[in-house]
Amino acid sequence: MSHGADTENIKRQFNIGSDLIDYSSNINPVTPMALKEAIIDSIDSIGAYPDIDYVDLRDKIARSINRQYMRSCDILGSGFDDSILDNQRLLSRDNICVGNGASELISLIFRLDIFDKVRVLSPLYSEHIRSSRIGGKGPIISPMKDIYGSDDKVYLSFEDMDLARDPREAIVVCNPGAPDARLRNLDFLVGHCRTYGKYLIIDESFMDFCEGYSYNSGFKYDYDKIIIVKSLTKIYGMPGLRLGYMMARDESIVEKVRSIQEPWSVNSLAQAGAMAVLEDLDFLEKTRKSYKKEREYLMDELSRMSAIDIHKSDTAYILCSLNDRSKYDTAHDLKMDMVREKSILIRDASSFEGLTHRHFRLAIKSHDLNEVLVDSLRQIL
């Protein structure tokens, strides 16, 4: 199985131990204290099974999504009236399924019989392609096509859209893109799916790091065949606990996924931690502001390095590529030298469908660690 988080293998291979600094996994360096305290307070819960239906957790997730959307639309303020959340466009627990990370939910969705094949828009996680094959759904791989509108926004289409009219085909996309980190408006894509009655599966695992939730999330579209998958692992800095969720306006889709899911896929500690922080919208806002500042710093510093080209980023990581001025032929070689000489791990992005052996990805971290990364790259490159 291929995944960027190979830190333990690297530590063993190079005998580095705890000194390794991991820039390959895009995890918020700040885990909310309330989450940690909730886990400690709930330690005795490991003696009992969690609620098999996760009613309270699904309620909390639905409410968190609704409130975040309201705030992003500038509806939620100091005088916010909770009765607004009764609006029929907003979500309830029946629109939510929780799982052991976004990966589990993607694999379950690909096993559904509501579509026959999957078209993935690349570049995309190799795990998604693998899951679609295991689920017997293909995939068909189509490159993303960016259309720049007169409003300076980036709209997403794909190159062979006119050929893909089969209603039994589902389209899968990451927004923001993985690993290119671009946030795209999906109006064209949603319009295509609506015209031909297709399912659209959107991986929004890194959406919470981005500004403009109400404008960019697939939540805004009133189309019953949209399925959104999100990770809580990244934004709350809890990869060791594993927690994600999917949402769909069509409750029958959620019920189909839950019907084929193994019981108790989310443990009681992950549930307790999430319950403590899901409605802390201030934490999300602070995180976005911090990432915006550090993203601008890193992109500015990286753009000064003549041996690499950088791609614009809207989220928690930056995609780069080695150019002809680099002494390295492959991102793998750069990765190995960074480990050997600097005890720093970056992500070789060559395994992503649609990228090359010269692409690599850098996670954005705290300012001190971002300075360490910049200094190390300058010395190595």
Of all helices (H) and strands (E), which one includes residue 169? Answer: strand 169-174
| pLDDT tens column, 80-128 | 455 545 554 789 999 999 999 999 999 999 999 999 999 999 888 888 8
pLDDT at 211: 86
Question: Where in the chain are the domains?
Answer: 7-31+282-380, 33-279
| pLDDT tens column, 268-325 | 999 999 999 998 989 999 999 999 999 999 999 999 999 999 999 999 999 999 999 9
Calculate what percentage of the chain has a pLDDT beyond 90: 72
pLDDT at 1: 43
Helix and strand totals (H; E) in the chain: 12, 14
Q: What is the mean pLDDT of residues 352-374?
A: 95
CB 245 within 8 A of CB 219: no
Q: What is the mean pLDDT of residues 133-148?
A: 87
2 has a pLDDT exceeding 70: no
What CATH superfamily classification does 7-31+282-380 receive? Answer: Aspartate Aminotransferase, domain 1 (3.90.1150.10)
Q: How many CB atoms lie within 10 A of CB 293?
A: 12
The residues that bridge with 157 in the sheet, in sequence order, are 145
Calculate what percentage of the chain has a pLDDT beyond 70: 93
Place of tokens 């549930």: 271
The residues that bridge with 248 in the sheet, in sequence order, are 227
CATH architecture of residue range(s) 33-279? 3-Layer(aba) Sandwich (3.40)
